[in-house]
Amino acid sequence: MKKIAILNGPNLNRLGKREPDVYGDETLADLEAMLRADVANQEVELIFFQSNHEGALIDKIAELDDSNVDGLIFNPGAFTHTSVALHDALKSASLTNIEVHISNIYQREEFRQHSLTAPASLGVISGLGFNGYRLALRHLLAMS
């Protein structure tokens, strides 16, 4: 059975309430339900984790790496643009990681247009809403 982790960073617990014109009106629970439905008939375990705290995300990455997770979908939220520590955690892990952003970070404020975590990722999906998570999941499951 494949194990895929989905990590979400700061303020993503506020989806559905926070800036719906940017992030839509669906919630984090809606995202989890959608992804679970996508793999309902497959031998896949999804592990969800969200934190507003950088250290908790770093600890979770290490925990996932030590537990033989097959892939990681990670939306670091605002830490994307500020966290060398998250970059280092991703770089030191053997996890195949795809960075996902609900909004297109390259159409937003200038400070959001640079990702410190992207160089530690296999790829980045930005601006496709929740479908970005679906595409990342599909790609990770297709990898041998």
Q: What is the pLDDT of residues 73-125, one digit of tens each?
A: 999 999 999 999 999 999 999 999 999 999 888 877 787 677 999 999 999 99
Give SS3 for 27. Answer: coil
The per-residue pLDDT of the chain, averaged, comes to 94
Global pTM reads 0.93
Residues contacting 98, CB < 8 A, separation 6+: 71, 72, 73, 74, 121, 122, 123, 124, 125, 136, 139, 140
Nearest to 24 by CA among 95, 103, 99: 103
pLDDT confidence bin for 36, thresholds 50/70/90: very high
Domain 2-142 has CATH 3.30.470.30: no
With beta carbons less than 8 A apart as the criterion, state whether 98 and 6 touch: no
| Catalytic residue of the set 23, 53, 87, 106 | 23
112 vs 38, higher pLDDT: 38
Domains of the chain by residue range: 2-142
| Catalytic residue of the set 101, 114, 133, 139 | 101
pLDDT for res 114: 78
pLDDT for res 41: 95
The Cα 44–Cα 137 span in angstroms is 10
The Cα 97–Cα 71 span in angstroms is 6
Any catalytic annotation for residue 23? yes
Any catalytic annotation for residue 101? yes
